[in-house]
């Protein structure tokens, strides 16, 4: 009985504390809440928003200290260490996009320099794996895209959304590099993604 | 016996007169027209724009609540200022919005003792014991921003004040999801509800 009373007091204390911290509200649709000694007014308001389109690859697959470590060197310009085809397996495409007047956007991929002869770099989006955060309409291109300086669509028309930041968010990119002749990438070689 | 009855009626009558809250009028001036700038935009790909937010001027709306003048047979028996001087009540201000799109977060705040008491100096101020505390303004949430609901059925208290008060500044912060389309103005209404009380 002694413990029951103790717990009852504790429960009352917790409920009281919760109620005290809760923000006070009223039903403002009910005129009785303000008709005596109060009043109600409204004002119109306008907010103007800018469109936004930003894109990022996480982690940067060609910077130091990133990549799977079991596939190829992570530094652009260094030779692939194996003559066999290689996959980069944990690269994610993040973006944030607010459309302007419902204009859909696309994401393009290309390279900033020609891919050296004898080497082929392909990228594809893993279908159905769109990360754990964010809120965006997925509309990826199916299948591998062979990269070149010519822009290719990798995500077709989509409306506003955001993917969440970092790995395991957005589109999972799978790179496949075929380099039987162990050709080196030129200095400053980049794979570029563009959202517009 | 008759004497005591009369005194009792007088006292009850006096109590009821003092216990009745007088009618007042809320006035809201200013038209919030807030524009997002490039510095207000999210800068990390993958994050929603609600992670940043942008503010209006501190006095985008000015709120005034005063007691109505007392008019008897077409003659002003007591002006607004006289009524405000002689009758001090507590007022709570609740806010909500309407016609706000999904993912569009609107927050509002004011600061401690913002605005101006009417009259500037009141008889009430000189009382040795002020039943409602000093005439002043107390914001909720410690003066930090409060998210304004989109449903009037749960209009939220943003601040309270004692006595008539003029030109209380209201500042807004907008946190728009990128899911809210750009290019067209987002138009909505802000509702202010003042609730008076005797204690």
pLDDT at B117: 97
Measured between CA atoms, how close is B13 to chain A, in angstroms?
Answer: 19
Measured between CA atoms, how close is B185 to chain A, in angstroms?
Answer: 5
Neighbour-count burial of B42, counting CB atoms closer than 10 A to its CB (0-12 exposed, 13-18 middle, 19+ buried)? buried
Is residue A78 situated within a structural domain? yes
Sign of the Cα torsion A75, A80, A85, A86 reads negative
Asked casually if ipTM beats, i.e. exceeds, 0.85, the reply is yes
pLDDT at B76: 92
Is residue A178 situated within a structural domain? yes
B186/A contact by beta carbon, under 8 A: yes
pLDDT at B137: 98
B64 against A37, higher pLDDT: B64
Element (DSSP H or E) covering residue A158: strand A152-158
Enclosing domain of residue A81: 52-195
Residue A72 near residue A86, CB atoms below 8 Å: yes
pLDDT at A22: 72
Is residue A150 situated within a structural domain? yes
Phi, then psi, of A133 in degrees rounded to 5: -120, -170
A83 against A12, higher pLDDT: A12
Is residue A111 situated within a structural domain? yes
Cα angle: B18, vertex B19, B22; to 5 degrees = 80
Sign of the Cα torsion B18, B21, B27, B32 reads positive
The number of distinct structural domains making up chain A is 1
pLDDT at A7: 61
A21 against A191, higher pLDDT: A191
Is residue A134 situated within a structural domain? yes
Domains of chain B: 25-197 (2.60.40)
Residue A161 near residue A134, CB atoms below 8 Å: yes
Residue B111 near residue B134, CB atoms below 8 Å: no
Residue B65 near residue A39, CB atoms below 8 Å: yes
B158/A contact by beta carbon, under 8 A: no
Chain A positions touching B88 (Cβ under 8 A) are none
Contacts of B18 (CB under 8 A, 6+ apart): none
pLDDT at A5: 58
- Contact (CB<8Å) A42/B22: no
B74 against A21, higher pLDDT: B74
pLDDT at A70: 35
Question: Which of B:108-147 have CB within 8 Å of A?
Answer: 140-141, 146
How far apart, in whole angstroms, are the C-alpha atoms of residue A92 and residue A83?
Answer: 25
pLDDT at A60: 64
- Contact (CB<8Å) A39/B26: yes
Cα angle: A139, vertex A47, B35; to 5 degrees = 100
Is residue A11 situated within a structural domain? no
pLDDT at A3 over 70: no
Chain B positions touching A47 (Cβ under 8 A) are 32-36, 104, 174, 176, 185-186, 188
Biggest CA–CA distance in chain A, Å, is 87
Measured between CA atoms, how close is B96 to chain A, in angstroms?
Answer: 8
Measured between CA atoms, how close is A64 to chain B, in angstroms?
Answer: 21
Encode burial over A23-51: b for 16+ CB neighbours within 10 A, e otherwise: eeebebeeeebbeebbbbbbbebebebbb
pLDDT at A35: 82
Task: State the pTM of this model.
Answer: 0.81
Residue B168 near residue B114, CB atoms below 8 Å: yes
Cα torsion A66, A68, A71, A74 to 10°: value is 0
Measured CA distances, A40 to B5, B59, B166 (Å): 42, 19, 15
A-B Cβ pairs (cutoff 8 Å, strict): 216
How far apart, in whole angstroms, are the C-alpha atoms of residue A122 and residue A176?
Answer: 5
Cα angle: B179, vertex B184, B186; to 5 degrees = 70
Measured between CA atoms, how close is A74 to chain B, in angstroms?
Answer: 22
pLDDT at A10: 56
Cα torsion B27, B33, B39, B42 to 10°: value is 90
Residue B148 near residue B155, CB atoms below 8 Å: no
- The percentage of residues in chain A with a pLDDT greater than 70, rounded to a whole number, is 74
Mean pLDDT by 10 residues, chain B (199 residues): 46 47 96 93 95 94 97 93 96 96 96 97 94 96 97 97 98 96 93 95
How far apart, in whole angstroms, are the C-alpha atoms of residue A33 and residue A5?
Answer: 38
Among B24, B65, B181, select the one facing A160 at the smallest CB separation.
B181
A54-105: pLDDT as tens digits: 999 988 655 544 333 334 444 554 444 444 444 468 899 999 999 998 999 9
Measured CA distances, A100 to A196, B4, B52, B115, B184 (Å): 11, 79, 19, 39, 8
Q: Which residue of B has its CA nearest to A171?
A: B46
Chain A positions touching B40 (Cβ under 8 A) are 50
Q: Which residue of B has its CA nearest to A98?
A: B178
Q: Which residue of A has its CA nearest to B37?
A: A50
How far apart, in whole angstroms, are the C-alpha atoms of residue A139 and residue A95?
Answer: 13
Measured between CA atoms, how close is A73 to chain B, in angstroms?
Answer: 26
CA neighbor of B65 nearest in space, from B82, B90, B33, B31: B90
A110-162: pLDDT as tens digits: 999 999 999 999 999 999 999 999 999 999 999 999 999 999 999 999 999 99
How far apart, in whole angstroms, are the C-alpha atoms of residue A102 and residue B48?
Answer: 17
Is residue A47 situated within a structural domain? no
Chain A positions touching B176 (Cβ under 8 A) are 47, 49
Is residue A10 situated within a structural domain? no
Encode burial over B121-142: b for 16+ CB neighbours within 10 A, e otherwise: ebebeeeeeeebeebbbbbbee
């Amino acid at each position: 009985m002694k413990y029951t009373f103790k717990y009852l007091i504790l429960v009352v204390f917790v409920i009281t504390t919760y109620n005290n911290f809760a923000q006070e509200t009223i039903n403002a649709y009910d005129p009785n809440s303000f008709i005596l000694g109060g009043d109600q007014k409204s004002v119109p308001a306008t907010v103007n928003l800018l469109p936004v389109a930003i894109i990022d690859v996480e982690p940067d697959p060609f910077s130091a200290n990133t990549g799977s470590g079991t596939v190829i060197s992570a530094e652009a310009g260094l030779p692939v260490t194996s003559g066999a085809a290689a996959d980069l397996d944990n690269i994610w495409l993040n973006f944030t996009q607010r459309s302007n007047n419902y204009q859909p956007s696309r994401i393009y991929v290309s390279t900033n320099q020609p891919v050296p002869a004898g080497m082929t770099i392909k990228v594809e989006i893993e279908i159905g794996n769109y990360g754990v955060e964010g809120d965006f309409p997925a509309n990826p291109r199916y299948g591998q895209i062979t990269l070149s300086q010519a822009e290719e669509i990798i995500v077709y028309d989509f409306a506003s959304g955001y993917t969440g930041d970092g790995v395991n968010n957005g589109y999972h990119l799978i790179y496949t590099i075929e380099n039987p002749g162990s050709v080196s990438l030129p200095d400053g070689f980049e794979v570029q993604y563009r959202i517009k | 016996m008759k004497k005591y009855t009369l005194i009792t009626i007088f006292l009850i009558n006096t109590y009821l007169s003092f216990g009745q809250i007088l009618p007042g009028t809320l006035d809201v001036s200013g038209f919030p027209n807030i524009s997002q700038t490039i510095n207000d935009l999210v800068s990390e790909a993958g994050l929603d724009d609600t992670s940043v937010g942008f503010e209006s001027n501190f006095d985008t709306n000015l709120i005034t609540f005063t007691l109505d003048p007392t008019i008897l047979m077409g003659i002003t028996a007591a002006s607004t200022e006289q009524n405000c001087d002689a009758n001090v009540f507590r007022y709570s201000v609740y806010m909500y919005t309407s016609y706000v799109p999904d993912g569009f977060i609107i927050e509002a705040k004011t600061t401690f003792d913002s605005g101006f008491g009417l009259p500037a100096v009141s008889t009430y101020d000189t009382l040795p014991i002020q039943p409602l505390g000093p005439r002043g303004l107390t914001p909720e949430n410690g003066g930090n921003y409060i998210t304004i609901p989109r449903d009037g059925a749960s209009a939220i208290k943003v601040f309270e004040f004692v006595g008539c008060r003029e030109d209380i500044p209201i500042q807004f912060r907008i946190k728009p999801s990128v899911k809210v389309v750009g290019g067209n103005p987002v138009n909505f209404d802000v509702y202010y509800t003042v609730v008076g009380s005797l204690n």
